[in-house]
Chains A and B, each alone.
Chain A
Amino acid sequence: MMKQTIRVASGQGFWGDLLDAPVRQVKGGQIDYLMLDYLAEVTMSIMQKQRARDANAGYARDFVSLMREILPDCVEKKIRVTSNAGGVNPKGCAEAVRDAARDLGLSGKLKIGIVTGDDIMPRLDEFLRRGIEFRNMDTGELLATVRDKVQSANVYIGATALVEALDKGADVVVTGRATDTGLTLAPLMHEFGWRNDDWNLLAAGTIAGHIIECGAQASGGNCLYKWNEIPDLTDVGFPIVEAQSDGSFIVTKHENTGGCVSLQTVKEQLVYEMGDPFNYITPDCVADFTSINVEDAGENRVRVFGIKGKEATDFYKVSISYSAGYKAVGTLVYSYPDAFEKAKAADKILRGRLERLGLKFDLIHTEFVGANALHGHLAGEPPANLPEVQLRVGVRGQDRKAVERFTKEIAPLILTGPPGVTGFAGGRPKVEEIVAFFPALIPKTEIETSIEILEV
Chain B
Amino acid sequence: MRIQLTELAHARSGDKGDTANVGLLAFTPEIYEIIKREVTAERVKTHFDLMVKGAVERFELPNLHALNFLLHESLGGGGTLSLMTDAQGKTFSTALLRMEIELSDEEAKMIESLSH
Interface residues of A (CB under 8 A from B): 41-42, 138, 222, 224-225, 264, 267-278, 289-294, 324, 327, 329, 363, 365, 367, 369, 373-378, 392, 394-396, 434-437, 439
Contacts and interface: CB of A to CB of B under 8 A. Distances in A.
B84 A367 contact: yes
Contact of A271 (B12, B81, B83): B12
Which 4 pairs from chain A and chain B are nearest by CB?
A271-B23, A394-B83, A273-B14, A365-B83
7 contacts: A138-B18, A225-B25, A268-B11, A272-B14, A274-B14, A376-B50, A377-B49
Contact of B79 (A41, A367, A392, A395): A41
A436 B81 contact: yes
Nearest to A394: B83
Contact of B25 (A268, A275, A434): A268
Contact of B61 (A277, A327, A329, A377): A277
B62 interface: yes
Interface in B4-42: 10-19, 21, 23, 25
B102 interface: no
Contacts of B104: none
Contacts of B62: 290
Interface residues of B, number: 41
A274 B64 contact: no
Contact of B85 (A277, A374, A439): A374
Contacts of B81: 324, 396, 434, 436
Nearest to A435: B80
Contacts of A363: 76-77, 83
A275 B15 contact: no
A396 B85 contact: no
Contacts of A224: 10-12, 93-94
Contacts of A271: 11-12, 21, 23, 25, 61, 64, 66, 68
A439 B46 CA distance: 29
Nearest to B48: A378
Interface of B: 10-19, 21, 23, 25, 47-51, 59-64, 66, 68, 70, 76-77, 79-81, 83-86, 91, 93-95, 98
Nearest to A270: B64
A54 to B, nearest CB: 23
Contacts of B15: 273
Nearest to B85: A373
Contacts of B70: 275
Contacts of A377: 49-51
A437 B15 CA distance: 13
B95 A374 contact: yes
Contact of A269 (B12, B16, B93): B12
Contacts, number: 118
Nearest to A390: B85
Contacts of B91: 374-375
Contacts of A267: 25, 64, 66
A438 to B, nearest CB: 10
B83 A270 contact: no
Given A268-B25, A272-B12, 15 more contacts: A41-B79, A42-B80, A225-B25, A267-B66, A268-B10, A268-B12, A272-B23, A274-B23, A275-B70, A290-B60, A290-B61, A290-B62, A292-B64, A374-B86, A396-B81
A267 B95 CA distance: 19
User: Which of B18, B77, B85 has the largest count of A CB atoms less than 10 A from its CB?
Assistant: B85
B34 to A, nearest CB: 18
B42 to A, nearest CB: 17
A5 to B, nearest CB: 24
Looking at chain A's contact residues, is the secondary structure mostly helix, strand, loop, or mixed? mixed
A273 B76 CA distance: 17
B39 to A, nearest CB: 14
Nearest to B49: A377
Contacts of B83: 327, 329, 363, 365, 394-396
Given A224-B11, A374-B85, A439 B63 contact: no
A378 B51 contact: yes
Nearest to A224: B10
Contacts of A373: 85-86
B87 to A, nearest CB: 10
Nearest to B66: A271
B101 to A, nearest CB: 15
Nearest to A396: B83
A246 B12 CA distance: 29
Contacts of B79: 41-42, 436-437
Contacts of A437: 17, 79-80
B52 to A, nearest CB: 10
Nearest to B72: A138
A417 B92 CA distance: 33
Nearest to A369: B85
B60 to A, nearest CB: 8
B38 to A, nearest CB: 17
